[in-house]
């Protein structure tokens, strides 16, 4: 079969300037240590949004850079997909704030909610729109202000997360590729998405939604903040990331040996190492920045992708494996040839 393909035309990231190191937790009364956090997670510091920085402002920052690199003006965007678990307000979608901030006058804009896997889900939706001809230029952003929803009194979760945004401009090729020829093909070669809502309560925000609207009691029970069963999440994450890696590689008819760079969701370096080992990919071919940003949820892969390109670790012809998992649970993966 011969058809056009979707490709990444430009990437960008938008990060708050303020750094919070592991040592800074003692100043806010959290009993923890740099050693504990590094040993269990690999995280040394994270960025925290301050002074009016919002999910929208970080998203727009990342988007402008991606558009500049792609050579795409705001008026050329057909669709803006914003993956976020931390919309600036519940109605309307934060994507329309991004649309307004960019002045993308022709664009449809909507939020996508699939937690840490959301940006990969968004990329798959964007690819589908390009392949059906419903859009020619799609902006896919992952933006998260996790500092607004974590419980700053719960040391088991607040040390893990950080704020930031990453974006890509996705376009359809003018030429066609032979879909069966995995060694020659370019652009998005395979995608995989999955979910298991039976596990929703392992990582969730019980209160504050329509079924349990915010009440004053939540100021005490703190049920409007993120709750997580850390050990259980860890076990599922290792299994789901391994599954995700296998599925995208199978879909592209490739193996770990064909991968030039793996960019996994950046939640925990131990989960990343287990995934790489399963996929038979040495850590020298795995991009890791969780030490500097913590878990930025759906922003983590696009931030890492942008840094990897900037660092020269992705070149023309590189085969890149993306793998994600998150609350839901949701998980997914993609093989992209640049």
Binding site for ligand COA (CB under 6 A): 32, 36-37, 40-41, 116, 155-156, 159, 203, 228, 230-231, 233-234, 237, 267-268, 295, 326
Given the complex with ligand COA, which of 199 and 320 has the nearer CB atom? 199
Spatial CB neighbours of 261, under 8 Å, sequence gap ≥ 6: 285, 286, 287, 308, 313, 314, 318, 319, 320, 321
Instruction: Report the residue number, 257 or 283, with the smaller CB distance to ligand COA.
Output: 283
For 254, list phi and psi in degrees, rounded to 5.
-130, 170
Kindly state the smallest distance separating residue 157's Cβ from ligand COA, in Å: 7
Comparing CB distances to ligand COA, the nearer of 300 and 319 is 300
Closest to 66 (Cα-Cα) out of 14, 16, 103, 104: 14
Which residue in 182, 140, 189 sits closest to 165, CA to CA? 140
Catalytic site residue from 22, 56, 116, 268: 116
Question: Looking at 22, 265, 268, 323, which residue is catalytic?
Answer: 265
Smallest gap from Cβ 188 to ligand COA, in A, equals: 23
Give yes or no: 116 in active site: yes
Q: Determine whether 265 is an active site residue.
A: yes
* Residues shown for the chain: 338
Please say which residue, 155 or 313, places its beta carbon nearer to ligand COA: 155
Q: How far apart are CA 239 and CA 230, in angstroms?
A: 15
Cβ atoms of 329 and 34 within 8 Å: the answer is no
Report the residue number, 39 or 310, with the smaller CB distance to ligand COA: 39
Min separation Cβ 233 and ligand COA, Å: 4
Nearest approach in angstroms of CB 31 to ligand COA is 7
Here the tokens at position 330 are 């949701």
User: For the chain, what is the largest distance between any 2 Cα atoms, rounded to a whole number of angstroms?
Assistant: 61
CB of 28 to ligand COA, least distance (A): 12
What is the C-alpha to C-alpha distance for residues 189 and 187, in angstroms, rounded to an integer?
A: 6
Smallest distance, ligand COA to C-beta of residue 238, A: 9
34 catalytic per annotation: no
From 158, 224, 236, 295, the catalytic residue: 295
139 has which bridge partners?
80, 169
Which residues participate in catalysis according to the annotation? 116, 265, 295
């Amino acid at each position: 079969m011969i058809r056009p393909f979707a490709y990444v035309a430009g990437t960008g990231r938008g990060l708050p300037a303020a750094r919070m190191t592991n040592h800074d937790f003692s100043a806010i009364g959290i009993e923890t240590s740099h050693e504990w956090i590094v040993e269990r997670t690999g995280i040394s510091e994270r960025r925290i949004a301050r002074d009016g920085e919002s999910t929208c402002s970080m998203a727009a920052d990342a988007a402008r850079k991606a558009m500049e690199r792609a050579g795409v003006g705001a008026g050329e965007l057909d669709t803006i997909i914003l993956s976020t678990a931390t919309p600036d307000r519940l109605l309307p979608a934060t994507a329309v704030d991004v649309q307004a901030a960019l002045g993308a006058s022709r664009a449809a804009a909507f939020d996508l909610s699939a937690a840490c896997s959301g940006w990969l889900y968004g990329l798959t939706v964007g690819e589908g729109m390009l392949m059906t001809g419903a859009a020619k230029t799609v902006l896919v952003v992952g933006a998260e202000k996790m500092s607004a929803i974590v419980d700053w009194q719960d040391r088991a979760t607040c040390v893990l997360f950080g704020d930031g945004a990453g974006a890509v401009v996705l376009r359809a090729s003018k030429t066609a590729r032979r879909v069966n020829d995995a060694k020659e093909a370019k652009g998005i070669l395979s995608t995989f998405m999955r979910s298991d809502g039976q596990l929703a309560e392992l990582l969730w925000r019980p209160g504050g939604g329509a079924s349990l609207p915010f009440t004053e009691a939540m100021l005490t029970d703190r049920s409007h903040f993120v709750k997580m069963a850390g050990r259980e999440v860890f076990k599922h994450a290792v299994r789901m990331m391994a599954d995700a890696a296998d599925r995208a590689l199978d879909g592209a008819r490739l193996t770990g040996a064909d991968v030039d760079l793996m960019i996994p969701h950046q939640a925990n370096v131990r989960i990343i190492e287990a995934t790489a080992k399963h996929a038979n990919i040495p850590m020298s071919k795995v991009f890791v920045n969780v030490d500097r940003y913590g878990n930025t949820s759906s922003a983590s892969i696009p931030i890492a992708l942008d840094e990897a390109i900037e660092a020269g670790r992705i070149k023309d012809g590189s085969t890149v494996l993306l793998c994600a998992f998150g609350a839901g649970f949701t998980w997914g993966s993609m093989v992209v040839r640049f």
